[in-house]
Chain A
Amino acid sequence: MLDLLIMLSRYLFIFYIGFFLWQGIVYIAYEQGGFLGSPYHAVSIQRRLIILMHITAFLILSYNRDTGIYDWKAVLFGAVGCIFLLAAIHFLDRFYYEGCPLIWTGTLFLMDTSLIILQRLEPILAYKQLMWMVIGLVGMLLLPTFFRLIPRFEIFEWAFIIICFGLLLCTKIFGVERHGSTNWLSIGGLTFQPSELVKFLFVFYLASVFRKRVEWKEFIITGVLSAGIVLLLVLQKDLGSALIFFMAYMVMLYIATANELLFLLGMIMASGAATLAYKIFSHVRVRVAAWQNPWADIDSGGYQIVNSLFAITTWGLLGSGLTKGMPKSIPVVESDFIFAAICEEFGTLFGAGVICIFIMLLYRGVRIALDCKRRYYSILAVGVITMLCFQAFIIIGGVIKLIPLTGVTLPFVSYGGTSVLVSLMMMGLLQWVCVYCEQHDADEKTSPDMEMEGGEDYE
Chain B
Amino acid sequence: MNNMKRSIRRIFWLLVLCFLLLLGYIGKLVLMERVGISTNAYNTRLRYVDNTIRRGDIIDMDGEVLATSVLQGDGTYERKYLRSRMAAHITGYSSVGKTGVEAAQNFEMMTLHNEFFQRVMAIATGKELVGNSVVVTVDMDIQTIAGNLLGNAKGAVVVMEPSTGRILALQAYPDFDPNTVSANWDELKDAEDSPLVNRATQGLYPPGSTFKLVTSLAVMENIRDWQTKTYECTGEAAFENKVIHCYNNKAHGTVDLKQALTVSCNSYFAQMTTEIGSSKLREVMKRVGMETPSGFDLAYSQNRIGLEASATQSELVETAIGQGETAVTPMYMAMLASAIANEGIMMQPYIVDHIQYSNGKAGNYTVPKKLTEICSTQEAATLRDMMVSVVEKGTGSAASINGVTVAGKTGTAENATGNDHSWFVGFAPAENPKIAVAVVIENSDAYGSATPIAGKVIQEALKQLENKA
Q: Is A313 a contact partner of B22 (Cβ separation < 8 A)?
A: no
Complex contacts, B366 vs chain A, CB 8 Å = none
* A314, A355, A378 — most chain B CB neighbours (10 Å): A314
- A317 to B34 Cα, complex, angstroms: 10
Known: A316-B30, A402-B21, A458-B1. A7 touches B8 (CB 8 A): no
Residues of A within 8 A of B25 (CB): 397, 400, 402
Contacts of A251 in B (CB 8 A): 11
Known pairs A310-B40, A370-B5; A382 contacts B11 (CB<8 A): yes
Partner-contacting stretch, out of A45-53, A182-190, A386-394: A386-394
**A400 to B19 Cα, complex, angstroms:** 12
Interface SS, B side: helix
Chain A contact residues, majority secondary structure = helix
Q: Is B44 part of the contact surface with A, judged by Cβ < 8 Å?
A: yes
A310 to B5, CA, bound (A): 42
CB within 8 Å of A: which B306-365 residues: none
Q: Which of A229-237, A357-365, A428-436 lines the interface with chain B?
A: A357-365
B12 touches A363 (CB 8 A): yes
CA distance A118 to B4 in the complex (A): 41
Which residues of chain A are within 8 angstroms of B40 by Cβ–Cβ distance? 295, 306, 310
Per-position 1/0 for A377-414, Cβ under 8 A of B: 01000100010011001001100101000000000000
Q: Taking the complex as formed, is A271 at the interface, i.e. its CB lies under 8 A from any CB of chain B? A: no
Q: Are B11 and A314 in contact (CB under 8 A)?
A: no
Cα(A352)–Cα(B25), bound, Å: 10
Given A255-B11, A366-B8 in contact, is the A314-B23 Cβ separation under 8 Å? no
How near does chain A come to B246, taking the closest CB pair, in angstroms? 44
A325-340 interface code vs B (CB 8 A; 1 in, 0 out)? 1100100000000000
Q: A326-B48, A366-B12 are in contact. Are A459 and B4 (CB under 8 A)?
A: yes
**Chain A residues within 8 Å of B37, by CB:** 309-310, 313
**Assembled-state Cα–Cα distance A351/B23 (Å):** 9
Say yes or no: is B3 at the interface (Cβ < 8 Å to chain A): yes
Chain A's interface size range is 35 or more
| B463 within 8 Å of A (CB atoms) | no
Q: Which residues of A contact B9 (CB under 8 A)?
A: 366, 370
- B30 with A298: CB separation less than 8 A: no
B127 to chain A, nearest CB (A): 13
A314 and B8 in contact (CB under 8 A), knowing A258-B3, A309-B29, A459-B1? no
**Interchain nearest-CB distance for A78 vs B (Å):** 25
Q: Which residues of B contact A366 (CB under 8 A)?
A: 8-9, 11-12
> Which residues on the A side are within 8 Å of B228 (C-beta)?
none
CB distance from A325 to the nearest CB of B (A): 7
Identify which of A8, A351, A458 contacts B26 (C-beta below 8 A).
A351
CB distance from B205 to the nearest CB of A (A): 28
A312 within 8 A of B: yes
Is there an interface contact between B119 and A4, defined as CB atoms closer than 8 Å? yes
Q: In the assembled complex, how far is the CB of residue B119 from the closest CB belonging to chain A, in whole angstroms? A: 4
Q: How many angstroms from the CA of A362 to the CA of B8 in the assembled complex?
A: 11
Is A177 among interface residues, defined by CB-CB distance under 8 A? Answer: no
Closest CB in chain B relative to A428 CB, distance in Å = 21
Q: Known contacts being A1-B123, A255-B11, is A7 close to B115, with CB within 8 Å?
A: yes
B123 touching A4, Cβ below 8 Å = yes
Q: What residues of B have a CB within 8 angstroms of the CB of A60 in the complex? A: none
Which of B8, B119, B120 touches A378 (beta carbons < 8 Å)? Answer: B8
Residue B238 at the chain A interface, CB threshold 8 Å: no
CB distance from A220 to the nearest CB of B (A): 20
Q: Which residues on the B side are within 8 Å of A329 (C-beta)?
A: 44-45
Q: Is the CB of B7 within 8 A of A393?
A: no
Q: Which A residues, 299 to 348, have Cβ-Cβ distances below 8 Å to chain B?
A: 306, 309-317, 325-326, 329, 343, 348
Report chain A residues within 8 Å CB of B123. Answer: 1, 4
- In the assembled complex, the Cα of A8 lies from the Cα of B120 at a distance in Å of 11
Determine if B45 and A358 form an interchain contact, defined as CB atoms under 8 angstroms apart: no
Does any Cβ of B come within 8 Å of A3's Cβ?
yes
Q: For residue A314, which residues in chain B have a CB less than 8 angstroms away from its CB?
A: 34, 38, 43, 45-46
Most A C-beta atoms less than 10 A away, residue of B52, B116, B119: B119
In chain B, what residue has the closest Cβ to A402?
B25
- Contact surface of B with A, Cβ cutoff 8 Å: 1, 3-9, 11-12, 15-16, 18-19, 21-23, 25-27, 29-30, 33-34, 37-38, 40, 42-46, 48, 52, 115-116, 119-120, 123
Would you mind naming 18 contact pairs between A and B with Cβ atoms under 8 Å apart?
A: A254-B7, A255-B11, A309-B37, A313-B33, A314-B34, A314-B43, A316-B34, A326-B44, A355-B19, A366-B8, A370-B5, A370-B8, A375-B1, A378-B4, A390-B15, A393-B22, A400-B26, A400-B29
| Other A-B pairs beyond A312-B30, A366-B11, A386-B11, 9, CB < 8 Å | A258-B3, A295-B40, A306-B42, A313-B33, A314-B46, A329-B45, A362-B16, A397-B25, A400-B29
**B-binding residues in A (CB < 8 A):** 1, 3-4, 7-8, 251, 254-256, 258, 295, 298, 306, 309-317, 325-326, 329, 343, 348, 351-352, 355-356, 358-359, 362-363, 366, 369-370, 373, 375, 378, 382, 386, 389-390, 393, 396-397, 400, 402, 458-459
Rank and list the top 10 A-B pairs by shortest CB-CB distance, nearest first: A258-B3, A4-B119, A314-B38, A310-B43, A366-B12, A313-B37, A313-B34, A313-B38, A255-B7, A402-B25
